[in-house]
Amino acid sequence: MKKLGPMAGWLALTTGFIALFLYIVLPDLKTLSASLAVVCLINTIYFGVAEGPQLKRSLSSHSALYGANTLALTAIFMGILIFANLLAFRHKHRFDFTEGGYFTLAPQTKKLISSLPREVKLTAFFQTESPEKIAFTNLIAGYLEETDKIKLQYVDPDKNPAVTKQYGVTTYGTVALESGTKETKIQNASEESITNALLKVTRDEQKLIYFLEGHNESNINSDDNLGYSTAKKNLEQDGFIVKPLLLLQSGEVPKDASVLVIPGPKKPLQDEEKEILENYLNSGGTIFMLIDPKSSSGMETFLKKWGIELGDNIVIDPMSKLFGGDYAAPVVNQYTAHEITSNFVLATIFPIIRSVQGVPVAGITTTELLKTSANSWAESDFNSGTVNYDEDKDIKGPVSVSVIATKILGEASPEISDTLKSDAEPEKNKPSLKATLLVVGDSDFSNNRYTNFSGNGDFFLNAISWLAEEEQLISIRPKERKNTPIQITQSMGNAIFIMGIIVFPGLIAAMGIRIWWRRRRL
């Protein structure tokens, strides 16, 4: 009996650990782990009966009391760790310590995924534990934190060739997205490509953006520096359909147009075309007009009727030199509070721009959206070869270079009202039909050469999104990883070498020798 008691104790301990290990690591072997747990319980009972008196004497000793105290403290510490782990599991939060917030989702992405209309299934085809899969997992974790409408499934193409063939996947790293009847695939998944793919599979309606042609405007299909092919590509990535428009040929702005963009006309618009634009606005249309300085568009009178005055000038800003530009390329970082520029912290750089100001017109509300710095001015005598601020002729900064004009035309049609009316307050929130006109005094800032400068492309895309009433797209686009190497001079390198290799190790060695010498004398 005495010999069997300790053996039962050791057997109970062994079978208990094996049962726990199998339950955690191999949950499919439930029968085996349950059997071992039963054996552990029987041996524990036998050990308690056989060694009862000895256990009682041992537990009454001082060492047992100290051991129990240690066990209690250990249990409390483990309980705190478990509680903290549960809190972290239920309240997930990611910390991004990179300089540019590289691992933080862009505000545009957060707005989109927080308002997904329906569930989206993502099937990611990666090799198990591949570096590409790890990078994708870190990226998609930000999406999964923001919404529960994204369902993610991983498939290893090597282990599941049938599923891979079903989706038509031929390369590792492909991600298939499905929502409703729509589906799309992306490769080399990035935040931009994933966000655009989510737009494609969840947006049931694609809005049309028309670009005016026929007056030597910037061409949306041109890859030259002055072309707008990059802007077109970015709009299409945001889910818009982009088309050119020749007014004299069509005779009207198409009824399916969400926004009409006039990108820097260099020849005058005909009176018939201006009348078409007038009728389009008065029927609730939206126009984004970019008019360059010294252009011959002939739109000054037209715009003045809509409360917008184009200045016959060029904005000069000496502070632009600090940004590596020139005096005639003002940097705009003063934004009026508006949906277009909400949370917008990037500067917008205009190669050359004229003043655009709001003027009082009955029934029209104007908002000056962009303004240059207080050190700038609008130079009216720009043909003399020298520029100086003239208080009598020039406009002192901050100078407005972009204006939004809106005109309420009345209540929307019954069909639109039924669609847009709020369920909570059906009478108070009746939608109104309105005309919207946004004018910027430059068109070059969003061409192929300059659209990737600072916030230029973001401002252009945000403006289109707001005019097209796609507010969920209005925000700053995803960030790029910053490369900020440390530049070390020869003298700095020598100082680091001396301090790291000679001084600090020498001090530690000297302290050790001193302590040894003192102990030697004792």
**DSSP assignments along 416-469, one per residue:** HHHHH--SS-TTTT--EEEEEEEEES-SGGGSTTTTTSTTHHHHHHHHHHHHTT
Alpha carbon 507 to its chain centroid, in Å, reads: 50
The whole-model pTM stands at: 0.65
pLDDT at 228: 96
Identify the pLDDT of residue 322.
Answer: 57
Q: Exposed e or buried b for every residue in 2-27, given b needs 16+ CB within 10 A?
A: eeebeebbebbeebbebbeebbeeee
Cβ neighbours, 10 Å, residue 465: 24
With a CB cutoff of 8 Å and minimum separation 6, the contacts of 405 are 306, 307, 308, 358, 364, 365, 366, 435, 436, 437, 438, 439
- Confidence (pLDDT) at 225: 93
Contact 211, 245 (CB under 8 A): yes
Give 288's DSSP letter: E
Report the alpha-carbon distance of residue 360 to residue 358 in Å, rounded: 7
At residue 423, the pLDDT reads: 40
The first and second tokens of residue 365, run together, are: 């509300």
In what helix (H) or strand (E) does residue 327 lie, and over which residues does it extend?
none
Euclidean distance between CA atoms 427 and 138, whole angstroms: 47
Q: Which stretches of the chain score pLDDT less than 50?
A: 415-428
Cα R_g (the chain), whole angstroms: 35
For residues 339 and 471, the answer to whether their CB atoms sit within 8 Å is yes
> Any bridge partners for residue 178, and if so which?
121, 183
Span 19-64, pLDDT tens digits: 888 877 777 788 888 888 898 888 888 877 877 777 676 666 666 6
Contacts of 67 (CB under 8 A, 6+ apart): none
Complete domains list, the chain, with CATH: 4-90 (no CATH), 107-200 (3.40.30.10), 208-469 (3.40.50.880)
Q: Angle 333-334-336 (CA atoms, 0-180°, nearest 5)? A: 135
